[in-house]
């Protein structure tokens, strides 16, 4: 993960920790050998994948749900999976890329197969810098506003 993405990942963790106090928030949380960008753990589990510039974000969705199906996540009550897609997945002509649509499709379908699972695909409206580039000036506000909008306690 590039430095800019890691910086955003840490800000996400810190902001989530300030909102959802009952969870222990960490980065690079291990789920069956798969690192998840940010996770919150209590009796429930929140898994957040930051889709920065990934060529195939549906892979993250499928891996997490594979671990759900194989029982790796049976120790938790509710499991919430959030995929945060940067502006990299936005199309110039409007809408979002098929890569994002495919990841959300898989996430929504799998979540509908498990009563205790929720899935959310949402936008983190940051245009991710290429390797060595800088984050936009307002990135902190954008991350904070995005976390504020998640409403993870919402059913």
Question: For residue 42, which of 20, 11, 13 has the smallest C-alpha distance?
Answer: 20
Fold for domain 3-150?
Answer: Trna Endonuclease; Chain: A, domain 1 (3.40.1350)
% of residues, the chain, pLDDT over 70: 97
- Quote the pLDDT of residue 1: 52
Instruction: Tell me what pLDDT residue 39 has.
Output: 97
The whole-model pTM stands at 0.92
pLDDT of residue 138 exceeding 90? yes
Half-sphere exposure of 106 (CA within 13 A, CB side): 17
CB distance 135 to 93 below 8 Å = no
Q: What is the pLDDT of residue 154?
A: 53
Check: CB of residue 109 under 8 Å from CB of residue 58. Answer: no
Close Cβ partners of 15 (under 8 Å, ≥ 6 residues apart): 143, 144, 147, 148
CA distance 106 to 86: 18
pLDDT at 152: 77
């Amino acid at each position: 993960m590039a430095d800019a993405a890691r910086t955003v990942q840490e800000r996400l963790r810190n902001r989530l920790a300030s909102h959802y106090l009952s969870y222990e928030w960490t980065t690079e949380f291990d789920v069956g050998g798969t690192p998840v960008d940010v996770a919150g753990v209590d009796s429930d589990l929140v898994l957040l994948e930051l889709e920065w510039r990934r060529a195939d974000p549906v892979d993250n969705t499928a891996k997490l749900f594979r671990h759900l199906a194989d029982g790796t996540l049976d120790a938790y009550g509710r499991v919430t999976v959030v995929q945060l897609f940067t502006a990299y997945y936005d199309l110039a002509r409007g809408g979002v890329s098929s890569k994002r649509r495919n990841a959300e499709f898989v996430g929504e379908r799998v979540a509908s197969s498990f009563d205790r699972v929720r899935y959310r695909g949402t936008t983190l409206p940051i245009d991710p810098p290429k390797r060595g580039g800088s984050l936009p000036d307002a990135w902190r506000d954008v991350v904070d506003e995005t976390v504020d909008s998640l409403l993870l306690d919402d059913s």
